[in-house]
A and B are shown apart, each in its own frame.
Chain A
Amino acid sequence: MAYETDQRDSFSTVNPIVAFVFFAFALIMPMLLMHPVLTGISFFAALVWLFLLRGKKAFGPLLKFVLPVMLLTAILNPIFNHGGVTILFYFRYNPITLESILYGAASALMLGAVITWFSCFNAVFTADKIIYLTGRFAPSLSLIISMALRFVPLFTKQAGRIALAQRGAGAGTHSRNIFKKARNGLSILSALITWALESSVTTADSMRARGYGLHPRKSFANYRFDGRDAAIGALIAAGILATGLAAGFRVFSVRFFPSFKLNAVTPLFIAACAVYALTLLIPTIMYLEEALKWRLLRSKI
């Protein structure tokens, strides 16, 4: 569910504006600069944090969804993209080149990083934060978005309940006969739609009864912008500025076609990579710091 947040994750408690800036940076950077070292760092940071947030549960979706997507990208790119000077072998009279394989691997890494950051975003950015962030300039839109997002897990849950009830009555979707399966699925869908219509009427009544639409509007969640938020925000802003400047001066330049060319590894490049890594590891560092604090406090008692 989207509402579950990890109580031990301290980045989940920073001001949503700061968190949003961080996620925007983490999501956009790998897409803008397809530098393999940078995307690798980004992927690593996202994986570590996702593991801290979700524990072992993080691996299921990673293995079932992210890994196949990455493999597919890496394999399909050399089949459709034949640019590059290093011809390895021919496939249906078209050359398979080293450069297109490298490009496929780099885009797979980029996709993996972006999807993993999105998983972290989903775990940290709850609906109340989205409303807090967008509620001021687009109140109805943000409400609709958060309600629509809520419908996805809600419908899945309700469909599961209906399916379980149908199964108890002997009409489940697990039948081997595909027509029977489809018919049972349709009856579940019909029950779900009836339920959805009814629940929307109930929701509307409930909202009206609680005074929806009366002024002044207030947000459920109220986040103050305190000293800690300012400090973390300043750190993130400094990291963004530093990496942005480095990117502007072409420290992270990479070229895949016609020949693969990485910029030389200079001290400046290493420093910029370190700054980038530290910026992306801020949530992880905060999490570990909190965990360490707890451990020390507990041992004193």
Chain B
Amino acid sequence: MVNHRFLNNPNFQSKKSAALRRVFRAAFAFALAALIILCASGCSLFAPPPPADEANTCTLYIECTKILENMDDFDADKLDVLPEDGVILEKITVNFNEGDSVYDVLVRETAARGIHMEATYTPVYESAYVEGIHNLYEFDCGEGSGWTYSVNGVFPNYGCSKYIVKDGDAIEWHYTCDFGRDVGAYFDK
């Protein structure tokens, strides 16, 4: 008696076509994933930040003078990128769009001036976290070092993407070597 299950079994197809199909399927899945990621990021992966409206102005200042006072803790490899006076960007007046956050202003102005800046989005705080500016990164000058910001002399206790800039605001980015205490930020009350 002939076993029809055996003869009609699709397992006896050629192996090569099965392998090829698997490759095509993997490639298709990869392309789909790439497309989804592209669209999720607003199709602006490589685009520069949108230009600013000239009606609104604020000031921006970026400094790291506290490193100069803590040279013992400083990463020797980064000496090349440390400005002599500790000022990365002199206080300048810049434009911004209605609804821009402190982070948006920083991204636009550093990119326009070729100043290096790296930030990651932190879901817990719903904000970007600035890891490094001008290749000076967090932890480059001791364990309590990193970037923090103030607006009109006040250090907000939330992320820079959540602070919406108003006309005439004075934004300052400070590099702290002591959890913000040395630049005047006190969060523990």
Residues of chain A whose beta carbon lies under 8 Å from any beta carbon of chain B: 82-85, 87, 89-95, 97, 167-168, 170, 172, 174-176, 255, 257-259
Whether A170 pairs with B107 at a CB distance below 8 angstroms is no
Inter-chain contacts of A259 with B (CB < 8 A): 80-81
Using CB atoms, name the residue of chain A closest to B7. Answer: A170
Is B3 part of the contact surface with A, judged by Cβ < 8 Å?
A: yes
Q: How many residues of B contact A (CB 8 A)?
A: 28
Chain B residues contacting A176 (CB-CB under 8 Å) are: 10
Does B137 have its Cβ within 8 Å of any Cβ on chain A? Answer: yes
Least Cβ distance of B79 to chain A in Å? 10
* Docked complex: B131-176 residues within 8 A CB-CB of A: 132, 135, 137
A262 to B150, CA, bound (A): 39
Whether A87 contacts B116 in the complex (CB less than 8 A), given A170-B3, A255-B77, comes out as yes
Q: How far is the CA of A95 from the CA of B132 in the complex (A)?
A: 11
Check B45–A97 contact: CB distance below 8 A: no
Could you jot down 20 A-B contacts, CB within 8 Å? A82-B116, A82-B118, A83-B118, A84-B135, A85-B80, A85-B81, A85-B135, A89-B46, A90-B46, A92-B41, A93-B111, A93-B119, A95-B116, A168-B6, A170-B5, A172-B11, A174-B11, A257-B135, A258-B135, A259-B80
- Which residues of B approach A to under 8 Å, CB–CB? 3, 5-6, 9-11, 13, 18, 41, 44-46, 48-49, 77-78, 80-81, 107, 111, 114, 116-119, 132, 135, 137
| CB <8 Å contact, B5 and A85 | no
List A contacts of B41 (CB < 8 A). Answer: 92
Q: Which residue of B lies closest to A93 (CB)?
A: B107
Distance (whole angstroms) from the CB of B133 to the closest CB of chain A = 11
Q: Is the CB of A83 within 8 A of B18?
A: no
**Which residues of chain B come closer than 8 Å to A93, judged between CB atoms?**
49, 107, 111, 119
Assess the A92–B45 pair: CB atoms within 8 A.
yes
The answer to whether B118 and A94 touch across the interface, beta carbons within 8 angstroms, is yes
User: Given contacts A174-B11, A175-B10, are A91 and B111 in contact (CB under 8 A)?
Assistant: no
What residues on A are CB-neighbors of B18 within 8 Å?
174
Q: Is the CB of B80 within 8 A of A167?
A: no
User: What number of residue pairs across chains A and B have CB atoms under 8 A from each other?
Assistant: 61
Q: Which residues of A contact B132 (CB under 8 A)?
A: 82-83
Q: Which residues of A contact B10 (CB under 8 A)?
A: 174-176
A91 x B45 contact (CB < 8 A): yes
CB neighbours of B9 from chain A (8 A): 167, 170, 172
A92-B41, A175-B10, A258-B135 given; A85·B46 CB < 8 A: no
Task: With both chains docked as a complex, state the minimum distance between the C-beta of A179 and any C-beta of chain B, in angstroms.
Answer: 15
Chain A residues in 8 Å Cβ range of B77: 255, 257-258
Closest Cβ–Cβ distance, residue A4 to chain B (whole Å)? 25
Which residue of B11, B48, B81, B137 is within 8 Å of A90 (Cβ)?
A: B48
Across-interface contacts of A167 in B (CB, < 8 A): 9, 11
Additional A-B contacts beyond A85-B116, A172-B9 (6; CB < 8 A): A82-B132, A83-B135, A94-B119, A175-B10, A257-B135, A258-B77
Closest 9 CB pairs of A and B: A258-B135, A82-B118, A174-B11, A170-B5, A172-B11, A258-B81, A93-B107, A170-B6, A170-B9
B3 to chain A, nearest CB (A): 7
The reply to whether A95 and B117 contact each other, CB–CB distance below 8 Å, is: yes
A95 close to B80 (CB less than 8 A): no
Q: Which residue of B lies closest to A256 (CB)?
A: B77
Q: For residue B70, give the distance in angstroms from its CB to the closest CB of chain A.
A: 18
Closest to B42 in A: A92
In Å, the complex CA distance between A17 and B163 comes to 63
Determine the chain B residues whose CB is within 8 A of the CB of A82 once the complex forms.
Answer: 116, 118, 132
Q: Would A175 and B81 be within 8 Å (CB), given that A90-B46, A170-B3 are in contact?
A: no
Residues of A within 8 Å of B135, CB to CB, are 83-85, 257-258
Q: Which residue of B lies closest to A81 (CB)?
A: B118
Report B-chain residues with C-beta under 8 Å of the C-beta of A257: 77, 135
